[in-house]
Structure 1
Amino acid sequence: MSEYTAEGGHGAVPTSDAPVRPSPRAVRRDWPLYEVFLRGKRGLNHVHVGSLHAADPRMALHHARDLYTRRNEGVSIWVVAAADITASSPDEKDPFFAPSGDKVYRHPTFYDIPDDVPHM
């Protein structure tokens, strides 16, 4: 059985067993985290510019546009769910990257690059 109160002139309002809606702040905290990458007008690649919380990727894209391109800095935005990013550990950098160290043919020092090839 619920208890009732008539405070505030609203009539009989249940004070127990009433459904409690979470505050908007709590809901936003539960939204997934997205990492934002922006390509500038003069840039050739996307650069990580920050993070934000959003309910879905479309909302994340719109919030990223509003937050990170207020002065028309960018021409392209990527948003990536942080949970979808897998990264190597900085503590394991030596053993993780060691296999590529003995493959000298992968280094561009053995190739002549023509002067007319841009962005190398």
Structure 2
Amino acid sequence: MWEVFVRGRRGLAHTHAGSLHAPDAAMALRSARDLFTRRTEGESIWVVPSTAVTASSPDEKDPFFAPSADKPYRHPTFYDIPEEVPHL
């Protein structure tokens, strides 16, 4: 099982597009191209073995993310973003 991440165009982040079964990375990459970028909506594809993905649990959301609440400087609310900077 492989997790597929696709980047739509330069400057954007890769986003999770879905999962697929493949025997190896090369076949996973080819299959991901065929399944998730049929209409040329992708510029870059990442495939990652599902076993390599470590995720937080939704049940632990409050204690896991609570420490970030005391660091407001990490949020872009204090900064002026120029209009000529796209994708922010």
Runs of 4+ in 1 over 4 A off after TM superposition: none
> CA offset at residue 47 of structure 1?
1.9
Is 1:72 matched with 2:33? no
1:54/1:94 CA distance change after superposition, 3 Å = same
Unpaired segments of 5 or more residues in structure 2?
none
Structure exhibiting the larger radius of gyration computed from Cα positions: 1
| Residue in structure 1 matched with residue 2 of structure 2 by the alignment | 34
| Residue in structure 1 matched with residue 50 of structure 2 by the alignment | 82
Asked if structure 1 preserves the Cα contact closer than 8 Å seen for 2:11 and 2:87, the reply is no
Backbone CA RMSD of aligned residues: 2.0
Identity %: 72
Q: Which has the higher contact order (CA 8 A, sep 6+)?
A: 2
CA deviation string 1:47-94 (max 9, x = no partner): 222111111111110111122222222111110110000000000010
Residues 2-81 of structure 1: matches in 2 within 5 Å? Answer: 33-41=1-9, 44-81=12-49
Report the AA paired with residue 37 of structure 2: T
Moved more, 51-60 or 70-79: 70-79
| Residue in structure 1 matched with residue 86 of structure 2 by the alignment | 118
Aligned residues: 88
Q: TM-score, normalised by structure 2?
A: 0.83
Q: TM-score, normalised by structure 1?
A: 0.64
